[in-house]
């Protein structure tokens, strides 16, 4: 970091009367971690980093390699809108993680995404993404604990029964104050369910924004006496929470969208065809990263607008990859939408594996099968030769272990830590006897 940049940041913090700075990073599972320092220590943190014990964090380091330090990224500086109390104003800086020898920590999710972006850059491409964040607003009890009681009984795009219109506006304003642009906010299909769509950006900034948005939306909900959950399937019998990710490649020299071809029936270039083919080829292998919870696979079932078949199309909302229509003359907006991710994923790892999967399709010039435009939930996909996504976290972890491209995208460190943590989660779930099983079987067998 240059002396001028460091001095500019210090002056800004002083002008804004910042008292504390949260140094933020994520573990391999995508959980936000924070070290808070008084603003008097900011100059030293910018110059020399802040040490911490990595062995204490889920999926980070073994005891023998515990010492690490955080290096703040000055481009991520922002005031925390809900934490501007007199004399206690707090700013946020997202950090990269380094080892004692001054090298980036291989298990840092932000570093994993940076490596993937470097691969794209070597091929002449930049990677842009835009996530659609879905979440439920639940009521809290007298102790402030969340309950499975939805905040309203509205449905898709409803106005008259939507009790969270003002809350979503507060959320969008908070995101704006954090430097994040929300393009749209609306009520979703299920009662108590909402969606906020973030603007297209470079994948690293988009991942920073995705993590920040999850924190911000929870904070604003709490200020309103509610609980925002990104759990993929918190309620049975209704739609779950997805995080559809729109994505495209741009030429780093010209800045032009390389997915566009106005002469193609779908408006897609050969590069876009190969990219989609790569996404489909590695869909099973990257599913554990994109849908990382046991609960994720209760969302990926027929009948609730979530994909289960590895297919692509335009009008088909049951397809895994969808090609949204664009306004005439706005060819820079050409993109593809991957519909299996959910908002419980680690966005740094998720965007990294999506990119590497697509790049593999381009490198190998994978051919793209015919689009599936019919509703796959009402035909026999086997007749079309369509494979399915894994039906459980255990199956997804097995598929990840078999996909060399996705494993290499994660790197040995992140891959091993992720697999270890998720295998423990899967084994714990397999051994648990649920209330459903007791109710179903106890009086019969």
Task: Identify the active-site residue in 14, 53, 251, 402.
Answer: 53
**Cβ(347)–Cβ(247) below 8 Å:** no
**Cβ(266)–Cβ(308) below 8 Å:** no
Does 27 qualify as catalytic in the annotation?
no
Please state, as a whole number, how many other Cβ atoms lie within 10 Å of the Cβ of residue 442: 9
Task: Identify the active-site residue in 83, 158, 261, 337.
Answer: 337
Does 187 qualify as catalytic in the annotation?
no
Q: How far apart are CA 213 and CA 198, in angstroms?
A: 9
Does 339 qualify as catalytic in the annotation?
yes
Does 374 qualify as catalytic in the annotation?
no
Residues making up the chain, counted from first to last: 445
Task: Identify the active-site residue in 244, 274, 322, 335.
Answer: 244
Does 183 qualify as catalytic in the annotation?
no
Q: How far apart are CA 148 and CA 361, in angstroms?
A: 42
Task: Identify the active-site residue in 134, 201, 360, 403.
Answer: 134
Does 317 qualify as catalytic in the annotation?
yes
Task: Identify the active-site residue in 27, 108, 162, 188.
Answer: 188
Does 143 qualify as catalytic in the annotation?
no
DSSP letter string, 97-108: EE-TTSPBPTT-
Q: How far apart are CA 42 and CA 23, in angstroms?
A: 10
> For the purposes of burial, counting CB atoms within 10 Å of the CB of 171, is it exposed (0-12), middle (13-18) or buried (19 or more)?
buried
**Cβ(212)–Cβ(180) below 8 Å:** yes
Q: How far apart are CA 61 and CA 73, in angstroms?
A: 22
Contacts of 287 (CB under 8 A, 6+ apart): 340, 389, 390, 396, 399, 400
Q: What are phi and psi of 232, to 5 degrees?
A: -60, -40
Task: Identify the active-site residue in 27, 108, 162, 195.
Answer: 195
Does 14 qualify as catalytic in the annotation?
no
Task: Identify the active-site residue in 17, 169, 317, 430.
Answer: 317
Closest-CA residue to 61 (of 91, 25, 14): 25
Does 16 qualify as catalytic in the annotation?
no
Task: Identify the active-site residue in 132, 201, 208, 403.
Answer: 132
Catalytic site residues?
53, 132, 134, 188, 195, 244, 317, 337, 339
């Amino acid at each position: 970091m240059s002396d001028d940049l460091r001095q500019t940041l210090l002056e800004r913090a002083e002008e804004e009367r910042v008292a504390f700075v949260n140094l933020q990073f994520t573990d391999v599972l995508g959980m936000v971690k924070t070290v808070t320092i008084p603003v008097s220590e900011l100059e030293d943190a910018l110059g020399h980093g802040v040490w911490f014990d990595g062995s204490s964090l889920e999926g980070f380091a073994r005891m023998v390699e515990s010492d690490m330090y955080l290096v703040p990224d000055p481009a991520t500086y922002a005031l925390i809108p809900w934490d501007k109390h007199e004399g206690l104003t707090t700013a946020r800086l997202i950090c990269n993680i380094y080892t004692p020898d001054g090298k980036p920590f291989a298990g840092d999710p932000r570093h994993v995404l940076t490596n993937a972006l470097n691969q794209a850059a070597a091929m002449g491409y930049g990677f842009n993404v835009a996530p659609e964040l879905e979440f439920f607003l639940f009521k809290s009890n007298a102790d402030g604990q969340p309950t499975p009681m939805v905040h309203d009984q509205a449905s898709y795009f409803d106005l008259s029964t939507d009790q969270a219109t003002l809350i979503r506006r507060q959320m969008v304003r908070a995101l704006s104050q954090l430097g994040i642009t929300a393009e749209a906010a609306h009520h979703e299909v299920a009662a108590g369910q909402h969606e906020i769509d973030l603007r297209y950006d470079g994948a690293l900034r988009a991942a920073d924004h995705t993590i920040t948005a999850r924190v911000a939306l929870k904070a604003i909900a709490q200020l309103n006496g509610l609980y925002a959950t990104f759990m993929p399937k918190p309620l049975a019998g209704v739609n779950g929470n997805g995080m559809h990710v729109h994505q495209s490649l741009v030429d780093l020299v010209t800045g032009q969208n390389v997915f566009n071809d106005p002469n193609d029936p779908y408006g897609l270039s050969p590069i876009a065809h190969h990219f989609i083919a790569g996404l489909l080829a590695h869909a099973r292998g990257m599913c554990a990263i994109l849908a990382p919870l046991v609960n994720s696979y209760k969302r990926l079932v027929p009948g609730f607008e979530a994909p289960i078949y590895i297919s692509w199309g335009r009008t088909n909302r049951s397809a895994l990859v969808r090609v949204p229509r664009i306004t005439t003359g706005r060819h820079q907006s050409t993109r593809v939408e991957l519909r299996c991710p959910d908002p419980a994923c680690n966005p740094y790892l998720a965007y990294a594996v999506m990119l590497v999967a697509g790049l593999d399709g381009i490198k190998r010039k994978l051919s793209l099968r015919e689009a599936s435009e019919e509703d796959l939930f009402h035909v026999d996909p086997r007749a079309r030769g369509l494979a399915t996504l894994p039906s459980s976290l255990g199956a997804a972890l097995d598929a990840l272990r078999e996909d060399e491209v996705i494993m290499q995208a994660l790197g040995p460190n992140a891959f091993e830590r992720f697999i270890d943590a998720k295998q423990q989660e899967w084994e714990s779930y397999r051994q648990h006897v649920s209330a459903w099983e007791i109710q179903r079987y106890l009086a019969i067998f």
